Amino acid sequence: MTAPLLTVAGVHRTFGSGPAAVHALDDISFEVEPGTMVALVGRSGSGKTTLLNVIGGLDRPDAGSVTVDGVDVTGLDEDGLSRLRREKVSYVFQTFGLIPVLSAAENVGVPLRLARAEAAERERRVELLLELVGLADHARQRPGELSGGQQQRVAIARALAASPRLLIADEPTGQLDAETGLAVMALLRGIVESEGVTALVSTHDPVMMALADRVIQIADGHLLP
């Protein structure tokens, strides 16, 4: 058996204290094999975003540990977390999170600049990624000049730029109509295969779940068996 790409062990996250405390994550444990696409499913308020943020190092658990590609995320300081997000884990957000004044190509190139990739190599990689997400002809357009689905495809290309091991997507199709959402999800599915990346994607949509290798269900901070 190959080593898991992601290990979540006994993770707790509580917001607030006393009678008002919300146990957003209550003893969450699971492993994910490399190269798989996992759908994280649960009702609003079930803890999906909290879990994804803890895994991606955007938030810290109160107890338990998260290991990504051999790195103990929970033990990292700020510098370590920055490096993790530069090198191993990348995010796709529901609201795309593109930089409005930059073109599609420049947005995709941001992680490569942070990684100090050489200009020619950066251009090559950006071109390849825009091709991969079907936007080669839109490289010069700014986010405001692109449709929602196109913006999300740019965000996916950007998330892949620095060749992460783990792609985290929090309801990446939440702002898109059903058909466009499905196209974006199918694109993610293809990318997991072609780039050998591991993806953890939260969604409400049963159609999206069908595209995943595995579905993890969360309810009130607990995983369902």
Binding mask 50-89 for ligand ATP (x = CB under 6 A): x---------------------------------------
With CB under 6 A as the contact rule, the residue among 28, 49, 181, 191 that binds ligand ATP is 49
* DSSP designation for 200: E
Q: CB of 203: closest distance to ligand ATP in angstroms?
A: 9
Does 24 interact with ligand ATP (rule: CB under 6 A)? yes
Does 49 interact with Mg ion (rule: CB under 5 A)? yes
46 interface partner picked from ligand ATP, Mg ion, none, CB below 5 to 8 A per type: ligand ATP
With CB under 6 A as the contact rule, the residue among 46, 90, 103, 173 that binds ligand ATP is 46
Q: Give SS3 for 169.
A: strand
DSSP string, 29-95: EEEE-TT-EEEEE--TTSSHHHHHHHHTTSS--SEEEEEETTEEGGG--HHHHHHHHHHTEEEE-TT
How far is C-alpha 202 from the geometric centre of its chain's CA atoms?
A: 9
Ranked by CB distance to Mg ion, the top (closest) residue is: 49
Q: CB of 46: closest distance to ligand ATP in angstroms?
A: 4
Does 45 interact with ligand ATP (rule: CB under 6 A)? yes
What is the torsional sign of CA 9, 95, 212, 85? negative
Stretch in the footprint of Mg ion (CB under 5 A) among 33-41, 44-52, 107-115, 147-155: 44-52
Query: CA 180 to CA 185: how far, in whole Å?
Result: 9
Identify the bridge partners of residue 41 per DSSP, sorted by sequence position. 203, 217
Which residue's CB is nearer to ligand ATP, number 87 or number 220?
A: 220
Q: Give SS3 for 163.
A: coil
Q: CB of 76: closest distance to ligand ATP in angstroms?
A: 20
Stretch in the footprint of ligand ATP (CB under 6 A) among 45-53, 70-78, 110-118, 157-165: 45-53
Identify the bridge partners of residue 7 per DSSP, sorted by sequence position. 31, 67
Which residue's CB is nearer to Mg ion, number 162 or number 168?
A: 168
Helix axes 178-195, 148-160, angle to 10 degrees: 20
Give me the residues that bind ligand ATP (CB under 6 A), please.
Answer: 15-16, 22, 24, 42, 44-50
